[in-house]
Chain A
Amino acid sequence: MTTSIIEAEGLTKQFSRGKTTVDAVTDVSFTVEPGGLVAFLGPNGAGKSTTIRMLTTLIPPTSGGARVVGHDIATTPEQVRARIGYVGQGTSGSFAQRVRDELLSQGAFYGVPAKQAKARADALIESLDLASFATRTVQQLSGGQKRRLDIALGLMHAPPLIFLDEPSTGLDPQSRANLWQHILDLREQHGTTVFLTTHYLDEADRYAERVMVMDAGRVIADDTAPALKATLAGDAITLGFASAADADAAEATIGRLAERATTRPDATTVAANVDDGERLLPRLIRDLDAQGLAVERATGVPPTLDDVFLALTGRTLREADAAHETTPTPATEGASS
């Protein structure tokens, strides 16, 4: 008996469309410990949602399996359902339902006694800032308000594990920041394990304790964001000089100390991708100064998860998203149906 809250083993999903078979998810295995905040990062069509839909018992895997909160997704899906919260990509609340009514119905669905459900609904309305429109219908809410209700619905039965599929997509920056604050607060208060998908790099970077990078149906990297960046992408440093002659003279020193190939963005500038750039940069400036080569401009840019994705796949997340939009595959149709 392990204590992992998710144990996925060889999860695979193929969608057949006519005569062709599309591999949406291929051999995905991982475990998640209770209390974590884990993000699936990847472009549209990478298989993130399909994986979540298997873990939440919405679709059966073609092969492989998983135990979620101690129960098998294939043999005892009702036990899994009782123990997880799920916020899908769409709107969880029904258009004609009032906010508070929908929370109470959700409580009843999970067997929460009526009195307790009322207290819980009121507490969630309070903590997710839904009080001023608790008696409005879902169709009257703004995008950010709808999303907060979705999260409240997912938490109504106080599940130990909640899945959030693209929780902040389509929200303006302020609503996104606000939503994240709520997610972090609720997690801190209740110790809920949060498993989410996102294609926003900054979100995965800032909030997730562990990032699993997905591409073309496979998990291609799995670590903390700083570790991914440290091992898979370097800091970009650039040094500018007064003349091309100074830059020429400095390039050899820079290449030797950085132990990396250098590039010349323009005649007076030398650039390199290096490890531990924040320590290297001052040292380079001192050494070059000692050689009589005055550094006039210096920048050191730490890597982003996009650099990680680029290093792993040879393309940026945005390129991958754009490529997906021009050639839609059945994998996402299956994932969103």
Chain B
Amino acid sequence: MTAVDITRAAGRSGARDTFNVMLRELRPVARDPFSVIFSLVQPLVFLGLFTPLLIGTSGESTADTLAWFVPGVLAMIVLFGTGATGSNLQYEMMTGSHERTLVAPLSRASLLAGRALKEVVPIVVQVLVIVAIAWPFGFRANPLGLLVGLVILAAFGVGLGSLSYALALKTKDREWAFWAVQQTLIFPLLILSGMLLPLDAGPRWMTVVSTFNPVNWVVQAERHLMAGDFAHAAVGWGVLAAAATAAVGLAVGIRAMKVSD
């Protein structure tokens, strides 16, 4: 067997570690790309069964309804996909493979950041697939708006994924605690984002609470970007909400990884 120069392993850069951790996380995705598609069942159900209801209630055209609803579904993909990703880490903590990576000469920050950044890949694939499916039904997106929208969703997903990992690190082997907290948070975030139904029809307190919900700003920014309305203030708020989620998520996640054993 070939000898290995062990001095290479110590004192390496955090960026390289992060890249290697991300690459490892992407291997199962690359080996089994359909797993990314299969996880689209839920958003497709919403798209197929909820859109007719929206059309029937509002009386608007299919194209107009999709223009309003698809951006919300895209945010939903990110919310559900990255919100649950911590459960993988939790399982690896219970089986022992996470412990193995803690003994490897990798910075603790890279163990979190590499996992979080991996989320970008399924997000991009899933968003493009949903857009492609909605297109024949009359959905149209401004190409540049879609591109900027993807960047916002990716940043938001990295942040949310980091928070999900932080929750896994905190709840350790208590799987029920992870899901209890995750489910408690995800549905209010979903409903108070106005992605399924407009919040205008709700009571005043709901509108007030929703202004503090980053998902709400991301959804609104996506709607304006897809419509090519780049100058709208909501786009700025969406960028800010996604960037803030990414920054806070990574900070909280890295801290949780550093104190974990």
Which residue numbers of A lie inside 8 Å of B, CB to CB? 56-59, 78-79, 81-84, 86, 88-98, 101-102, 105-106, 108-113, 116, 119-120, 123-124, 127, 137-138, 153, 157-160, 189-190, 337
Contacts and interface: CB of A to CB of B under 8 A. Distances in A.
B2 A110 contact: no
Contacts of A86: 100, 103
A109 B96 contact: no
B1 A120 contact: yes
Interface string B226-261: 000000000000000000000000000000000001
B103 A84 contact: yes
B27 interface: yes
Chain A CB within 10 A, most for which of B7, B9, B92, B172: B9
Interface in B1-19: 1-4, 6-12, 17
Contacts of B100: 86, 88, 92, 106, 153
Interface string B168-207: 0000110000000000000000000000000000000000
Interface string B53-94: 000000000000000000000000000000000001001101
Nearest to A124: B1
A94 B92 contact: yes
A59 B102 CA distance: 10
Interface of B: 1-4, 6-12, 17, 20-21, 23-24, 27-28, 31, 88, 91-92, 94-97, 99-106, 172-173, 261
B172 A97 contact: no
Contacts of B10: 78-79, 81-83
A158 B8 contact: no
Nearest to B31: A98
B104 A110 contact: yes
B6 A97 contact: no
A91 B1 contact: no
Contacts of A57: 103
A273 to B, nearest CB: 42
A106 B106 CA distance: 11
A86 B21 CA distance: 18
A305 B120 CA distance: 55
A116 B2 CA distance: 7
A109 B106 contact: yes
B4 A120 contact: yes
A123 B8 contact: no
B1 A58 contact: no
Contacts of B91: 95
A190 B2 CA distance: 11
Contacts of B96: 88-92
B31 A158 contact: no
B27 A98 contact: yes
Contacts of A127: 1
A337 B261 CA distance: 7
Given A110-B104, A153-B100, 8 more contacts: A79-B10, A81-B103, A90-B95, A96-B28, A112-B9, A116-B2, A157-B9, A337-B261
Contact of B104 (A81, A91, A116, A190): A81
Contacts of A112: 4, 8-9
B97 A157 contact: no
A124 B2 CA distance: 11
B4 A78 contact: no
A318 to B, nearest CB: 26
A296 B166 CA distance: 72
Contacts of A157: 4, 6, 9
A107 B91 CA distance: 23
22 contacts: A56-B103, A78-B11, A82-B6, A83-B10, A88-B103, A90-B99, A91-B97, A92-B96, A92-B100, A95-B91, A97-B24, A97-B28, A101-B24, A105-B24, A106-B104, A109-B21, A109-B104, A110-B104, A110-B105, A112-B9, A124-B1, A337-B172
